[in-house]
Structure 1
Amino acid sequence: MSKNFKKMTSLLLISLLVLPAGWMPSTIHAQEKEDIPVLLYHRIVENPTIEWTDTSLEKFKETMAYLHQNGYNTLSSEQYVRIMNGEEEAPEKPILLTFDDATPDFVTNALPILKQYNMQAVLFVVSDWIDGDYSMSKDQLESLVNEESISLENHSKTHDQEYVWHQEIAIEQASAEIAAANQYLKSITNKDPVLMAYPYGTYNGEAEAANKENGIKYAFKVGYPDGSPYAMGRHYVLMDTTLEEIAQWIGGPAPEEKPEEQEPPVQQFSTIDYEDQSMEGIEGRSGTEVLAVTDEANHTEGGSFALKVEERTETWHGPALRVDPYIDTGEEYNISVWVKLLSEESTELQLSTQVGQGDNASYHNLDGKTITTEDGWVQLQGSYRYNSTGDGYLTIYVESTSSTASFYMDDITFEPANSGGTDIEKDLPSIKDVYKDDFLIGNAISTAELEGSRLELLKKHHQLVTAENAMKPAYAYNEQRKFDFTAEDELVDKALEEGFQIHGHVLVWHQQSEEWLHSDENGQPLSREEALNNLRKHVQTTVEHFGPNVISWDVVNEAMNDNPPNPSDWKASLRQSGWYKAIGPDYIEQAFRAAKEVIEENDWNIPLYYNDYNDDNQNKAEAIYQMVKEINENYGAENNGELLIDGIGMQAHYNLNTNPENVRRSLEKFISLGVEVGVTELDITAGTNNELTEGQANAQGYLYAQLFKLYKEHKEHISRVTFWGLNDATSWRAEQSPLLFDKNLQAKPAYYAVIDPEKFLAEHEPEEKEANQGTAAFGAPKIDGTVDDSWSNAAELQVNRYQMAWQGANGTAKALWDKENLYVLVEVKDSALDKTSENAWEQDSIEVFVDENNGKTSYYEVDDGQYRVNFDNEASFNPGSIAEGVKSATNQTHDGYIVEVKIPFKTITPVNETKIGFDVQINDGNEGARQSIATWNDTTGTSYQDTSVFGELTLKGVETPEEPDIEKPDDEPTPKNPGQEKPELEPNVITKPKVEDNQATVNDAIFDQLAYNGELIIDLSEHSSSIAIFLTEEQVKLLKQLHALIMIKKKDVTLQIPASIFTNGNQAVDIILQKLEQIEDALSAVYDFNIIQGDKEISEFDSNIIVSFVVNKAVAEHSNSLKIFYLNPQLEKWEVVGGEYKNGNVTAKIDHFSTFTVFEEDMETMVDAKEEKELPDTSTSTFNFLLGGLILLLIGASTFLFKRKRKREI
């Protein structure tokens, strides 16, 4: 059968094929023939994974032994034909064994067993698949010619379901396929094939006739009853097919029952110290690691040896040990291992345990420590209660956050904690019952949650489940890149059997997804067409496979960048994922459309969600809001107001610093879109090292209570609340105890807060959150990236408050000051440094925030600033004007890096006890994205625009002498107090640049007045000829940092350009507005627009540019028919862009540069660029086309001369 085999397709086919034989055309009915059972196999493998094609080697041996012991006689293809034709008498108990696809395992696994019992078999061959990545090689196939017991027969040429082997196959198609495969097989066997098996079991009368005309004697479908000689049945052996079922199919005696296997007694674990120089059962998780016992290092007292782990290439690689023989289910075990870092100066090593294997496995971190090569031996230890057997597969293992770190390991212990078993608290109120009239209560699961006491707790409190990992995109495929839902089906079937509803998570994600779907083997994006086809096929196949068993789907997950600086431009805020790079920002809409098509075709009611984390960050929430709004509005305009995105999933990975009012703002923002909201992955971290103080537990409960109070207020719009894990020990953030139940499945204060939020809030006082207070000592260090003695008196500020779900780099800061400057030292702990992102804030870097007057405003005043320095001493600023006088130095260390920075005071002359607003932030970059943010004070992520979230720094260390009272002349003005009457930054700044030789330059000083998200208006209204505006590298850098708009106002045209389209770094920019000769019928000037940045021409852009032409309305018949057109050089015609007329101007958005002007659109024959219609064939439009060709030549020549002139001038 095919590599693209689908469960639903097969079931449909089987259901069709088991209809009465009379439904099919036939010449000879099956009952007139010998009744010979036929078995259908595919692959015979040691470890089956694909339900529809795999049979275990063990089961196959068992079945062949049964056939042999019970006297069955296997047939060759020729023998089968002679018997069915009545030319030969059948032996006792005849049976035909068939194998489809000619996979290599037939030679290596099936053939030796067949030969052991002197059995014959038929191998159906797809001729085009030989020497491919699925079927066997030609050499292997030719070797079977000498095996007299094996018949090679026809399984078609291509096995192509999409274009050939479907229910409407024509006789010409079928005949071509059969004839080609016949010719190929005869070239190898020197025999004409006599049997044929239909790909997918798909056939019709045309296919039957094609077989007959090509000399085939009998053809096989899937399932029974038999039809004509060209619609014979076969029993389909699946992965789960039992010997008992096969015996019933063939009318054989019931197999002997095997005695039940007794579970072996629990073994006692002995410390592994490698002193016997054996591996002690340790194996590499990937099989590619190099593990060896060595005497280079040792931890055991009096010993000499340890295990050396090298040649790791992925973070999850490392040594693993099976521990299932030592486990009594339900018991807790203490686990310890000693490790010593060999290479990498610093990295984190983690001790973890795995429960189960394959796609349904779950992984639990027990302990992790960042260590250096200088630390020597370090102990990793933790405990875990094994409430699940993991289907007999349990391991402990060591991995690292570095994919290449090498280390030693010694003295492994695994001991019962003797804490006794645990029962769930059965008398507690059920969470699902408390909220039964409000919303569903769900949990994230693996198969481990579907047995024992974990299942008992899960069923008591939840009615909905989400697969934590098993239904993510990567798990939909096997190693041959074929769809394989075996593990997912196992989870879904078990969950349905236990009475749970299922939410599907997830169809499209940038992580845990197969890279080949959107990128080639070199990591480069596939073509848009190929990637889009892969996206649609993945989404639609998956949705169709699970059908109504899933009540809702996360279609796209985590597509938005964290804390995007310009959230109103949602496309520019998207994560640059593989899907984005291959398809573009519309991959999100395309994914939803693909899912929607399947759902509507089947008349299912399955809501579709967009899902994301850090949903309480207002910038990110705004970007998500804008995205969903635009996509739904566009879809609704085409579909009578119907929604494409039905809901937004708020993951809700929170911490004790989360402000519930920010959650409220995001929730209500999303609800205003008319979509439903799901709380999809709720947990709240508190505590460290798997320990939770009473105060932390109550604070955690208080936030849970606040959230559920909020959720109840909006219950009409919330579909479900799902907790991301059943208890602390199995959480993905186990170290910080984020869930309602502890490691022993007992309720925490958080549970009681959820059950009765109002009561919990009334009984517990909220913890007052005050700004962190720090001090700066008086002194002036040398800025050289080293920690000299001048820092010895400065107090440490811990930079360890995390703004995001992920927790990475952190560190400490110190501050010094004098009357001119603030000095800041930051020592960062970060094992892997990255600056590959084009965005400075996504690189490994530190940020210092200063509010000189401690005004705590929600916006930046002139005294406020954001100073960023990455580990390579590259600085950036907000606003850009504060860069003057700043000096920084960096130095990389064995476990991170150091930053020293001098920041001049701009508006104050500080004295002792001056208090300023202050914060420090550490950005943790990873593979071009920011994975973590740690701060000294702010947890909102809005410090870049809001000074009210800063901490406070008091300047200390100098006695302030009394200043003498000096008389001043009467006419001398009194100095103003610094900080008073500060100039405010302007949202719109107008400049009239100097113009010489058609080149305009902008004064640097004007940029100091421009506010964040402001607009720089370049007034050239006195100019109507061609002109070029030149922006320096520093000006471009500032405009991009401020997320500014640039408006260029000429006498006859205006352009509004977002600085974000300058995508060639911070290189200088020429904006060229070249005025062309007037065209007959054009109602405005004719312009060719170009942007040149460095050596790159920017002609297409994601963010729209707005163009507005002044028009001569007097010659227009209808103002609403005035539209902006552009000249398409490939088609040599004018195509409509669109636009609206207002107050003498026609304005439109454009997403590329070309030649533009305004025409009056013919009201009877509207020109639509999307439909690519020609302009009306009038004498005027014909003239326009002829003139257009001439203009193209003029444009090319004039643009070349103009750009050459500009290049010389620059």
Structure 2
Amino acid sequence: MRASPRTARRGRPPLLAACSLVLALLAGVFAPTATGAAPTEPDPALPVTVLVSDFEDGTAQGWAARGGETVTVEGTAARTGSYGLAVTERSAGWEGPALRVDHLLERGVEYTVSLWVRLADGAAPDTARLSLERLVDGTTSYHTLGSAVVGPDGWVELTGTHTPTVAAEHLAFYVETAGGTPSFRMDDVLVTRIPVPPIQRDIPALRDALPEFTVGAAVSPRDVYGERAELLARHHGSLTPGNALKWDATQPVEGVFRFTDADPIIEFAEERGMTVRGHTLVWHQQTPAWVFTDPDGEPMTPTPENKALLLDRLETHIREVVGRYGDRIGTWDVVNEVIDESRSDGMRRSPWYEITGSDYIRTAFRVAHEVAPDARLVINDYNTNVPAKREALYDLVAMLLDEGVPVHGVGHQTHINIEWPSVAEAEAMLERFVPLGVEQEITEMDVSVYTAPDQVFPVVPAERLAAQARQYRRMFELFRSYSEHITSVTLWGLADDDTWLDGGPLDRKDAPLLFDERLRAKSAYWAVVDPGWDGGAGPSGGCLVDHRVTDRWPGGFRAEITIRNTSSRTIDGWTLNWTTGPEHRVDHLWNGTLLDRGPRVVVGDASWNALLAPGASANIGYLGSRIPGTGSGAPPEPTLFTLDDRACRLLAPEA
């Protein structure tokens, strides 16, 4: 029997709040982070359902039209169950169902949105987009969270993520199309979040272990909320807004300044007693196109008039941005990446240089010093351990100092990898600038696990993480020896779950920082903070693993694992790794959280067994099977287990 259609909305009134059903769902499954103890703790590795729209009650459940289209609940629009949402009579691509969520989502928490779309019968394929509309400080912006090509012959899932970081007057998810205006159906909306586990509070703070200089981290707006904020403040004495103070974020349109992302970060630093590095006033990237456009709207050419206009725009921008914060920001990366060692004069041929020569550098430092006379002003660049680049930067800084330009420091970005550079190369970088008498800062440090552009690891091998720890140790030992000249060391990110090194042409995952994706200390962290570090994942001792196959049958087996903490420290939260071989897999696990089933198996703690005191043990078990078509044979006997990043001693199997 065909269900009758139920009209949800037509016309262009303002978006409605989510209906009472949605609120009831949320009341049961979503609660903001609280300081009090909850009756039960969610598994930190599993998503928590925040919102479900399945339309099975015959209503639109808060979804409504954005324009003149018609949104109805119909049985013919269902992907599963009895009802789905039909969207018809569209006259513009942006028209589609929307759900307002600004009063439902918690700032600093990442949400995953999933829904299913199918075009109406006979429609030509089009690109459907899951989008976000946001109104902040009176300015509306639109963001695509995910897209896919959709047709009339099958359902397609749209997915995306969003992390609210500022208070929005209006926030809504909606669905639109990129090409035409076909009618479509929508069903099975799911919004989830992954809880951030509590940080480790029983380990040394970086800021205490490294008193020789200030230790900082680059941050995004999400890092000043919840457990991420606690990790940031516990370990770091300074922070650098990674993108929030760049030109495209602060003056996207000429004369229109916005500090929506930057202000909460600066306020957080003040509340927690942290200093701030401002990044960055002048760069050849992330600068809006209008900056290099002449009065006629054409790209600037090198003329005296355009030079004067560009320098005037630069001065206006610096006076507004630096002037807003005054002495609240003690250090500024004034100019960023101006060196190109392949040029005979060593200068990058950016639009800044093409229009003004080196005068944009002089102007930037002069104006910043006038506005903030007590701030330390830095020239910042990458690969300064490369001799040609180092020399070009040295020559530029020496020239500026001779001219009386207020350059107070040189910033070495230090984006390196597990093999490069050598300690000797890094020391030459630092030693070269000592005669100039300027401060030196390590401004954007991370250590990639990759040594070649064509490498991709689905799971980063333990030996790469060990090599990373050794490289971090070597570099920090060098920095300590130059602490008379180095005033700060900043890591370019807080943890491995948010790094600029992810993605790229190969869409590869890197792990370049001191804390992993669960905000847990890595072996690289211990290599930095512990003078007696012995190459493991903690300050001393290790772990012991007993793996036993207790039952087997054709095509499958049962195994049990005992993990014993043989170190002298308490382990609070653990991850166990082992390799099964390409022909076997883990099908079911108990007393732990299965994060990856093979060929490299990754198992996290089960929350209630996360704490392992020295000498304590945890037991887990699993059912495994042989992948069909891979032959036959005995279950695997793993020879290498790692607890966190550290190799464990394995008890020999009984004969």
Alignment map for 1:168-187 (pairs within 5 Å) = none
Question: What is the deviation of 1:442?
Answer: 1.0
Higher relative contact order, chain-length normalized (CA < 8 Å, sep 6+): 2
Which residue of 2 is the match for residue 831 of structure 1? none
Q: Which of 428, 431, 445 lines up with 2:206 in the alignment? A: 431
Distance 1:379 1:485, change over 3 A: closer
Question: What is the deviation of 1:759?
Answer: 1.8
- CA offsets 1:1122-1176 (integer angstroms, 9 cap, x no match): xxxxxxxxxxxxxxxxxxxxxxxxxxxxxxxxxxxxxxxxxxxxxxxxxxxxxxx
TM-score (norm 1): 0.33
Question: What is the deviation of 1:499?
Answer: 1.1
1:629 equivalent to 2:397? Answer no
* Secondary structure in 1 matching 2:484: helix
* Secondary structure in 2 matching 1:391: coil
Does structure 1 conserve the Cα–Cα contact (< 8 Å) formed by 2:113 and 2:159?
yes
Task: Kindly provide the amino acid, as one letter, of the partner of residue 681 in structure 1.
Answer: E
Question: What is the deviation of 1:555?
Answer: 0.7
Does structure 1 conserve the Cα–Cα contact (< 8 Å) formed by 2:496 and 2:517?
yes
1:651 equivalent to 2:413? Answer yes
Q: Which of 426, 439, 460 lines up with 2:234 in the alignment? A: 460
Structure 2: runs of 5+ lacking an equivalent: 1-25, 31-49, 451-455, 503-508, 539-655
Give distance in 2, aligned partners of 1:468 and 1:581: 27
- CA offsets 1:879-920 (integer angstroms, 9 cap, x no match): xxxxxxxxxxxxxxxxxxxxxxxxxxxxxxxxxxxxxxxxxx
Distance 1:452 1:723, change over 3 A: same
Question: What is the deviation of 1:472?
Answer: 1.8
Q: Which of 287, 294, 297 lines up with 1:522 in the alignment? A: 297
Alignment map for 1:383-782 (pairs within 5 Å) = 390-391=166-167, 411=187, 413-416=189-192, 422-436=197-211, 438-477=212-251, 481-483=255-257, 488-520=262-294, 522-525=297-300, 527-560=306-339, 566-571=342-347, 574-577=348-351, 579-599=352-372, 602=373, 604=374, 606-615=375-384, 618=386, 622-623=388-389, 625-626=391-392, 628-639=393-404, 644-656=406-418, 658-660=420-422, 663-671=426-434, 674-686=437-449, 692=460, 694-733=462-501, 735-756=509-530, 759=533, 761=535
The number of residue pairs the alignment matches comes to 469
Does structure 1 conserve the Cα–Cα contact (< 8 Å) formed by 2:410 and 2:438?
yes
Question: What is the deviation of 1:556?
Answer: 1.2
Question: What is the deviation of 1:539?
Answer: 2.2
Distance 1:422 1:763, change over 3 A: closer
Task: Kindly provide the amino acid, as one letter, of the partner of residue 511 in structure 1.
Answer: Q
* Secondary structure in 2 matching 1:715: coil
Give distance in 1, aligned partners of 2:353 and 2:339: 11
Give distance in 2, aligned partners of 1:569 and 1:374: 60
Task: Kindly provide the amino acid, as one letter, of the partner of residue 271 in structure 1.
Answer: S
Give distance in 2, aligned partners of 1:710 and 1:361: 48
Give distance in 2, aligned partners of 1:710 and 1:720: 13
Question: What is the deviation of 1:457?
Answer: 1.9
- CA offsets 1:545-600 (integer angstroms, 9 cap, x no match): 42222211111123345xx5x244313xx1433x334323432233223323445x
Structure 1: runs of 5+ lacking an equivalent: 1-263, 765-1210
Distance 1:762 1:369, change over 3 A: farther
Distance 1:706 1:452, change over 3 A: same
Does structure 2 conserve the Cα–Cα contact (< 8 Å) formed by 1:274 and 1:305?
no
Give distance in 2, aligned partners of 1:647 and 1:704: 23
Give distance in 2, aligned partners of 1:399 and 1:569: 52
- CA offsets 1:518-561 (integer angstroms, 9 cap, x no match): 31363411611111122123224433442222211111123345
* Secondary structure in 2 matching 1:722: strand
Distance 1:304 1:548, change over 3 A: closer
Give distance in 2, aligned partners of 1:381 and 1:750: 34
Does structure 1 conserve the Cα–Cα contact (< 8 Å) formed by 2:331 and 2:378?
yes
Which residue of 2 is the match for residue 863 of structure 1? none
Identity of aligned residues (%): 31
Question: What is the deviation of 1:611?
Answer: 2.1
* Secondary structure in 2 matching 1:648: strand
1:270 equivalent to 2:52? Answer yes
Does structure 1 conserve the Cα–Cα contact (< 8 Å) formed by 2:98 and 2:174?
yes
Alignment map for 1:90-169 (pairs within 5 Å) = none
Distance 1:451 1:542, change over 3 A: same
Give distance in 1, aligned partners of 2:91 and 2:427: 49
- CA offsets 1:1016-1065 (integer angstroms, 9 cap, x no match): xxxxxxxxxxxxxxxxxxxxxxxxxxxxxxxxxxxxxxxxxxxxxxxxxx
Distance 1:522 1:754, change over 3 A: same
Give distance in 1, aligned partners of 2:181 and 2:168: 30
Give distance in 2, aligned partners of 1:431 and 1:726: 12
Does structure 2 conserve the Cα–Cα contact (< 8 Å) formed by 1:705 and 1:761?
no
Distance 1:664 1:280, change over 3 A: farther
Give distance in 1, aligned partners of 2:142 and 2:449: 21
Distance 1:609 1:332, change over 3 A: closer
Task: Kindly provide the amino acid, as one letter, of the partner of residue 407 in structure 2.
Answer: I
Task: Kindly provide the amino acid, as one letter, of the partner of residue 198 in structure 2.
Answer: D
Question: What is the deviation of 1:677?
Answer: 2.6
Does structure 1 conserve the Cα–Cα contact (< 8 Å) formed by 2:131 and 2:144?
yes
Distance 1:686 1:677, change over 3 A: same
Give distance in 1, aligned partners of 2:112 and 2:426: 39
Task: Kindly provide the amino acid, as one letter, of the partner of residue 269 in structure 2.
Answer: A
Alignment map for 1:1068-1107 (pairs within 5 Å) = none
Question: What is the deviation of 1:506?
Answer: 1.5
Distance 1:421 1:558, change over 3 A: closer
Question: What is the deviation of 1:432?
Answer: 0.5
Question: What is the deviation of 1:383?
Answer: 7.7
Distance 1:414 1:761, change over 3 A: same
Give distance in 2, aligned partners of 1:663 and 1:310: 61
- CA offsets 1:355-384 (integer angstroms, 9 cap, x no match): 995799999999x89989999876565888
Give distance in 2, aligned partners of 1:689 and 1:282: 44
- CA offsets 1:104-160 (integer angstroms, 9 cap, x no match): xxxxxxxxxxxxxxxxxxxxxxxxxxxxxxxxxxxxxxxxxxxxxxxxxxxxxxxxx
Task: Kindly provide the amino acid, as one letter, of the partner of residue 647 in structure 1.
Answer: G
Question: What is the deviation of 1:624?
Answer: 5.8
RMSD: 5.6
- Who wins on radius of gyration, i.e. which is larger? 1
Distance 1:533 1:609, change over 3 A: same
Distance 1:332 1:516, change over 3 A: closer
Task: Kindly provide the amino acid, as one letter, of the partner of residue 114 in structure 2.
Answer: S
Does structure 1 conserve the Cα–Cα contact (< 8 Å) formed by 2:238 and 2:269?
no
Give distance in 1, aligned partners of 2:448 and 2:199: 23
Which residue of 2 is the match for residue 154 of structure 1? none
Does structure 1 conserve the Cα–Cα contact (< 8 Å) formed by 2:53 and 2:61?
no
Bigger proportion of residues as helix:
1
Distance 1:634 1:725, change over 3 A: closer
Give distance in 1, aligned partners of 2:457 and 2:130: 13
Task: Kindly provide the amino acid, as one letter, of the partner of residue 422 in structure 1.
Answer: P
Question: What is the deviation of 1:431?
Answer: 0.1
